[in-house]
Structure 1
Amino acid sequence: MRLLLFTALLLLTSASYAQQPVHLIPEPVSVQTQAGHFALTKATTIAYSRPESATLAALLAQQLAGQTSFTLTSKAVLVAPANAIFLVLNSLPDARLGREGYKLSSGPKGITISANQSAGLFYGAQTLLQLLPVERTQPGSLKTATLLIPAVKIVDYPRFGWRGVMLDVSRSFFPKADVMRYIDELAQLKINTLHWHLTDDNGWRIEIKSLPRLTSVGAWRVPRDGHFGERPNPKPGEAATYGGFYTQEEVREIVRYAQARNITIVPEVDVPGHSMAILAAYPELSCSKDTSVRVNPGTQFAEWYGNGSFKMLIDNTLNPSDEAVYTFLDKVFGEIAALFPGQYIHAGGDECYHGYWAKDPGCQALMKREGMTKVEELQGYFMGRVEQIINAKGKKFMGWDEILEGGTVSPSATVMSWRGMKGGIEAAKNGHDVVMSPSTFAYLDYMQSDPTLEPRIYASLRLKTCYNFEPVPADVDSTRILGGQGNLWTEQAPTMGHVEYMSFPRAWALAEVFWTPRNRRDWAGFIPRMETQMQRAEQANINYARAAYDPIVTTVLADNKLTVMLDSEIPGSDIYYSIDDTMPGRYSPRYSQPLLIPEGNVTLRVVTYRNGKPSGRQLTLKRDELVKRAPK
């Protein structure tokens, strides 16, 4: 009787799983669904064709154990065994697949993942993990005795070689375990580059043995809560107790962890601006030589004028005319180069204030000696010297698009364009390799929804905008565009849970932008795959935002008449509203055309529904707030 019941349940679940669509992020180059499925059980083995795949097989077994009740064994074989996941390194390379591409074939007899190199096998394994059924009960139950994986044939390879995410650990410090967790989450999306922003005004996060004050002083600041940029200044004698840094052994461990997941870590030391943590430890390296400078806890130390220009109220720049600065940087980059096996070191170069340079006699003498007519040219001189130091360590120099100012960096310098696409276009036309990371498409710290629903940040970036990012501009040599990157600054992201909230699902969208062929990208098709990914994130205890479901409100004020338009990023959403001081829901008026808002003390309340259920957060706006939103 129990055997009959088990058989009946297995048949029912087989039918259910067979009907489930294949939802993968990023979308592969080609997916062909087949009849049937592969039954994954605790008796399934992970087989591999070459000894160098043993480590990957063990990692896949570990990842499967984390998602299932199975602890699978692995072994080297010559031919594919039955009831196995077979990892095959091609003896004859497939030109289509390149270094990171793979083929995956699943069917009743087994699963085969083949690739030219180990990176491709790893990405095939990440796709396999997304083929597991979404709905699974706790380990040991009847339902998890067999997991049915759909029969498919997948051919896949990336569009871009640089698929990056930047994590800022200066403004908020995250311990080693958090960084490793984030690496795992990125690797599952086929992200292959973690840009690690290790230094800034708010903390120095990496041990430099020859310069111990960088971590004994520069890694710590006074504790502060509240909105970044509006926090109180340090008090005289107040202890600096917030912060931390990574020892060199921890860095090596994190690098190895990332390498096993096909992620290259690109370290960034941000100079000559954003150097307050350096100057707290070594004030003699600035023009002002101000010994009162402390690691900044999030106070306002600059005036911004809205057109991109600004004035620093505290000197946070290194002195480009002081040879001691270059001796210091030679030590820093020498130790960093030994820790990171990747080919790039990022040296920042952004948002450098030149006001202190303009008043400094040493800087003026340098300008005269070098024939400079503008103080901005000192930036180019400084970055040119930094490039020489980094190249001497056997690494390639990379910086934000400001490194082009002054015109002294070599064509071999790689430019990361953040101030829109313009800097990247200029760099590519001048022969530089470029990574596109424009704030308009790729800044993951920006608000994701209506400003009244999200923690306050100075700009917004919606999920759909991320998904519509095209890294290759028209009339630019596409071979100069290495790829793209999402950037997460952490002024307002103090915990890994909030890092995840700000990253996902926008990093899911960017991962597809960077991997999937442009003609395979489809916003409407992305939504159900995103929703499946949300279910997987729930099971993995990964935080994410549902901001894309929130209503969008725009207004027009003409002839003293206020008109409101309602929308949602998610296709097919139903939008309900009220202006009569009732709570909106599916029994309220359904939005179908622009609304004329009457005068008086009126409050608009809006909610969204998807498939008959509430999906987004309620948006509540008074009439005067709606008026302020209207274009002037």
Structure 2
Amino acid sequence: MALLTANLFAQSPSNIENKISVRWEVPTGKSLKKNPTSKLIIQNNDSQQLALKDWSLWFNFIRGIDAKSVDSRFKLSHRNGDLFQIEFAKSNLTLKPKDTIEINFTTLGGLINYTDGPIGLYISYDDKGTYADIKKYDAQKNTFTQEQQRTYLEQKFASNALLAKGKQQDILPLPEQITVDRTKSFKLTNTISISNDPEFNNETALFIQFLQEQTAVKGQKSPNREAQIKIVKETGFADEAYALNIDNKGIEIKASTATGVFYGLQSLKSLLPATDWNSKNKTLNFPYAQIKDQPRFPYRGFMLDVARNFHSKAEVLRILDAMAQYKLNKFHFHFIDDEGWRLEIPGLPELTEIGSVRSANYKDGNAIQPAYGSGASTKEKQYLSTQDYMDILKYAAARHIDVIPEIETPGHARAAIKSMEARYHKLKKAGDLKAAEEYVLHDPEDKSIYNSAQNWNDNVLNPALPSSYHFLSKVIDEIKKMHDQAGVPLKVIDLGGDETPAGAWEKSPKIEAFMKENNISSVHDVWPYYINRINELCHSKGLIMSGWEEMGMKNFGTGMDVNPALADHSINLNVWNNLIGGGQEDLAYRLANAGYKVVFTSAYNNYMDMTWDHNFAEPGHSWVGLVDINKTYSFAPENYYINLAKDNSGNDLPKDFAKNKVHLTEKGKANFLGVKAALWCEKINNDIRLEEMIFPRLLAVADRGWAPEQSWENGENFDSQTYQKGYAAFMQKLGNDELKKLDKLNKGYHYRIPAVGVKLENGKLVANTDYPGFKIYYTEDNTEPTLKSKEYKGAIPLNNKSTYKFRTITQNGGLGIVSTY
């Protein structure tokens, strides 16, 4: 391997990024849960010897690194956030042609899969402002030995086999009351007539658009009450409720509101099998059905982070379409964080001029540092213009989705802090000190030492500064104006409030003076002061403030706990922290019982950025454990402990675990708004990965938020057989029907293609998939399966000399993970 020799001749550092390749590797067959070794292998692909003294290697790494673990030839430094630099400490080192060097380092904490590896690798030349992205980089994607692989595949096979037991549900999400007779059907052919009350014109138009895009059947408006589809306004229905009836007379939807009509039409689309979603199909067959339906919860949400890695307006609109299809009604839009400010704010151009730009040249103050794989080079327009945002608002409103914008404060505010710092220096240099100080967010004399959850040491705005509140007021006003101009008034705004690190503000002279002025004895009391202050700011603008759970908590000296003092201050809380075994499993209930309005954003069940299972080839985070669709569907929002058996580390929970936890009271139920899924994008830098992490798990969240409480959710004892029957019915609808529709909606979504379970039975290999309805292809010669490979149709006699590879492949060319046996 690595041969490092004395530098024999001068070598120009130019074009190094094109001359080398880098690979990340970890040990195979060993546990990676505690401080494993990572290895970066650099290869010289050039025909010339390369000197190492004139350049250094930079990369983003989401885990921590023991800087002292590298050998003396190298110097490893943590710069800030997830940015690291490796320098070659010995100035006379070179790399021979086609040779490699290895840089080993200890990773702090565990590793779960290849997306934990270094990303965004780039070269810097002598720190002189010359940088370039490395062109060739890959990461190891398998750590199983053959024995481990086979055990894993057999466990997957057993889990998958349970999905075959049960009757497929008729509509997703499951309605409150439904009767379907599939022996009878009402047919619509060629051109169909639709009548509706005038206030339902938008909903009818969207349904006609669906027919035009997905079938060969045309819909036309008809004033005739004898129309084949009648959409009727009738009093007495709740806001989101509807009734749907299909018989030999036709299809009739009744509702009191346009929202109810819209959801009735989504159910009609769900009843229609995927085979009828065909641009050449001129006949639609609807089974006879009687449905009375309304959602279980008024809040059924999805949070999308476009701050860590940007995703465009076009992609957001695609997500809104899918949300609408499955009756999700709240879009929590997270476009501001430490690593990016993604919304244009009139009057504060620096927020996007600086805060949306990540560059290796960040030290000049005209950008923020590379993060989460952004690399050395800047990308154009990594933010939403005011018009983009207003377009999103209108699009969402037409689909009965409320957009809830989030401005992260006081932590997770680094992009804003750095942007306003650049504004300060620019205006101060121009001689306008008053204007320069107008929106400053940090105390330059602050010597506080802290480390945030994402390893930042300078990401918390200062609540002692009047300019901090002036800044928030300005941003809120501008967002409110965008809503007004779009004709979609802002009702709720989210001001973050999560993960402000311990140690922040403790050594700020501004905070010290502020505490004396306000007779505050502990820095812990600055927190509720700030929360109350920004809540009053929101109320003064006619808005409800939403935020993460910490807004309803306070450090009473022994850690954060429920703060009853603000419970009656009309604050909506998104409660995410329920790691099993972490002690906060009942936090959502304690906050709701205390009087806070709560949205249960269960990280344990509904964080879409979590990895599916412990295969190293599966992408995603793991700090909350594995989140497959079974865990998402098993979420019991109002009786959370009923099916919990193991803690976050996989250890068995005590039998009396639930008895020692707070349960939801009647008061708490009245404050329980609903459920939400969330997708954080640290590891998601393209739209394909984005959609693969969201789907199909988001459909399970939609079902949990809409469907009535199931029998397995009640009581103290979990009825696993009843649960499994319902889960199998959901999964069959998902795999056999709904994912086939996602193949066609908006020209196709990139959902996670199911992986293959494999088992040896009586000398033959049998295979199945994570969810039904997909074809398996296989090879016997260790090559990757394609659509031209053999299709699996039954047990395969095992040849011990062969290596079998199985993979699910869709007709659109979507590829599942390869299972090797």
Task: State the 1:172 CA deviation.
Answer: 2.1
Distance 2:311 2:701 in 1: 23
What TM-score results when the alignment is normalised by the length of structure 1?
Answer: 0.77
Q: Are residue 452 (structure 1) and residue 657 (structure 2) matched? A: no
| 2:464–2:510 Cα contact (<8 Å) kept | yes
Structure 1 segment 162-181 matched on structure 2, within 5 A:
162-181=299-318
Structure 2 match to 1:348: 496
1:247 shift after superposition? 2.5
Alpha carbons of 1:312 and 1:491: their partners in 2 closer, same or farther (altered >3 Å)?
closer
Are the structure 2 counterparts of residues 233 and 370 from structure 1 closer, same or farther at C-alpha, using a change threshold of 3 Å? farther
Equivalent in the alignment of 2:186: 38
Equivalence for 2:727: 523
**Counterparts of 1:456 and 1:62 in 2: how far apart (Å)?**
36
Which whole-Å CA distance do the structure 2 matches of 1:570 and 1:75 have between them? 41
Q: 2:239 aligns with which of 95, 99, 102?
A: 99
Q: Specify the alignment match of 1:126 in structure 2.
A: 266
Which secondary structure does the structure 2 equivalent of 1:174 belong to?
coil
CA displacement, residues 167-213 of structure 1 (integer Å, 9 cap, x when unaligned): 11112222222211110110000001000002111221222212222
Report Cα offsets for 1:230-260 as digits up to 9, x if no partner: 65886xxxx6435532222332221111111
In structure 1, the residue matched to 2:42 is none
Q: 1:338 aligns with which of 481, 501, 504?
A: 481
The alignment status of 1:61 with 2:208, answered yes or no, reads yes
CA 1:570–1:37 in 2, change beyond 3 Å: closer, same or farther?
closer
Shift of 1:617: 4.2
Query: Where does residue 494 of structure 1 map in the other structure?
Result: 685
In structure 2, the partner of 1:75 is 222
Unmatched 5+ stretches in structure 1: 1-19, 292-300, 305-309, 554-565, 590-602, 622-632
Select which of 265, 277, 288 maps to 2:403.
Answer: 265
Distance in structure 2 (CA, Å) of the matches to 1:223 and 1:466: 39
Structure 2: which amino acid aligns with 1:123?
A: Y
SS of 2:699's partner is helix
CA distance in 2, matches of 1:130, 1:123: 10
Aligned twin of 2:115: none
Letter in 2 for 1:274: H
Deviation at 1:465, TM superposition (A): 0.4
Shift of 1:604: 11
Tell me if 1:195 matches 2:335: no
Residue 435 of structure 2: aligned partner: none
Matched, 1:418 2:583: no
Q: Deviations over 1:398-456 (max 9, x none)?
A: 11011123346452111110111433222112111100002101100111233312125
The answer (yes or no) to whether the contact 1:221–1:243 under 8 Å persists in 2 is no
Q: Which moved more, 1:250-259 or 1:509-518?
A: 250-259
1:468 and 2:624 equivalent? no
- Aligned to 2:314, the other structure's residue is in SS state helix
SS at match of 1:26: coil
Give the 3 Å change call, closer, same or farther, for CA 367–552 of structure 1 in structure 2: farther
For 2:632, the aligned partner's letter is C
In the other structure, the counterpart of 2:173 is 26
The 8 Å contact of residues 360 and 375 in structure 2, kept in 1 or not, is answered as no
Q: Distance in 1 between matches of 2:498 and 2:475?
A: 19
1:349 & 1:219 partners in 2: Cα distance? 21
Distance 1:511 1:137 in 2: 21
Give the aligned residue type for 2:664.
Answer: D
1:217 to 350, 354, 362: 354
Partner of 2:466: 323
**Cα distance in structure 2, aligned partners of 1:76 and 1:170:** 48
Give the 3 Å change call, closer, same or farther, for CA 451–286 of structure 1 in structure 2.
farther
Quote the residue 1:114 is aligned against: 254
Match of 1:275 in 2: 413
Deviation at 1:216, TM superposition (A): 2.1
Residue deviations 1:498-525, cap 9 Å, x none?
A: 2221111110001000000122772121
- Would the alpha carbon gap of residues 76 and 245 (structure 1) be closer, same or farther in structure 2, given more than 3 Å must change? farther
* Separation in 2, partners of 1:609, 1:169: 30
Equivalent pairs counted in the alignment come to 544
Change (3 A) 1:409 1:604: farther
3-state SS of paired residue (1:208): coil
Q: Secondary structure at the match of 2:268?
A: helix
* Matched letter for residue 587 of structure 1: I
Give, in whole Å, the separation in 2 of the partners of 1:233 and 1:509.
35
Give the letter for the 1:503 counterpart: I
1:534 equivalenced with 2:681 (yes/no): no
Change (3 A) 1:241 1:499: closer
The SS at the match of 1:445 is coil
Sequence identity percentage: 29
- C-alpha deviation, 1:137, in angstroms: 8.0
Aligned counterparts of 1:121 and 1:263: Cα–Cα separation in 2: 14
Q: CA deviation at 1:39?
A: 1.5
- Distance in 2, matches of 1:376 and 1:552, equals 54
Secondary structure at the aligned position of 1:376 is classed as: helix
Task: Tell me how far apart the structure 1 counterparts of residues 727 and 758 of structure 2 sit (CA, whole Å).
Answer: 17
For structure 2, list consecutive stretches of 5 or more residues without a partner in the other structure.
1-166, 362-369, 425-439, 484-488, 555-562, 579-584, 640-662, 712-722, 760-766, 786-791, 810-814
Which shifted more, 208-217 or 393-402?
A: 208-217
One-letter code aligned to 2:392 = I
How far 1:382 moved relative to its partner? 1.7
2:442 corresponds to which of 287, 298, 320: 287
Matching of residue 436 in structure 1 with residue 579 in structure 2: no
Counterparts in 2 of 1:456 and 1:178: CA distance versus 1, 3 Å: closer
CA separation of 1:146 and 1:198: change in aligned 2, threshold 3 A: same
Whole-Å Cα distance in 2 between the matches of residues 290 and 183 of structure 1?
Answer: 44
CA distance in 1, matches of 2:804, 2:497: 45
Counterparts of 1:192 and 1:243 in 2: how far apart (Å)? 28
- CA-based RMSD of the aligned residues comes to 3.8
Shift of 1:43: 2.1
Instruction: Label 1:490 to 1:313 Cα distance change in 2 as closer, same or farther (>3 A).
Output: closer
Cα displacement string for residues 103-122 of structure 1 (whole angstroms, at most 9, x for unaligned residues): 11112331111112111100
Quick one: distance in 2 between partners of 1:251 and 1:233? 26
Residues 300 and 329 of structure 2 are in contact (CA less than 8 Å); yes or no, is this contact kept in structure 1? yes
1:528 is displaced (CA, Å) by 0.8
SS in 2 for 1:147: strand
Give the letter for the 1:539 counterpart: K
Which amino acid in the other structure matches residue 199 of structure 1?
I
Task: Look at both structures and tell me which one has the larger radius of gyration over its CA atoms.
Answer: 2
Measure the CA separation in 2 of the matches of 1:166 and 1:617.
27
Q: Residue 272 of structure 2 contacts residue 286 of structure 2 at CA under 8 Å; is this kept in 1?
A: yes
1:471–1:481 CA contact under 8 A, matched in 2: no
Q: Say if 1:101 and 1:157, in contact at 8 Å, map to a contact too.
A: yes
1:353 is displaced (CA, Å) by 2.4
Structure 1 residues 552 and 277, CA, compared in 2 at 3 Å: closer, same or farther? farther
Alignment of 1:477-626 (within 5 A): 477-519=668-710, 522-531=726-735, 532-540=737-745, 541-546=747-752, 549-551=755-757, 586-587=795-796, 617-619=817-819
Comparing 176-185 with 247-256, greater Cα deviation is found at 247-256
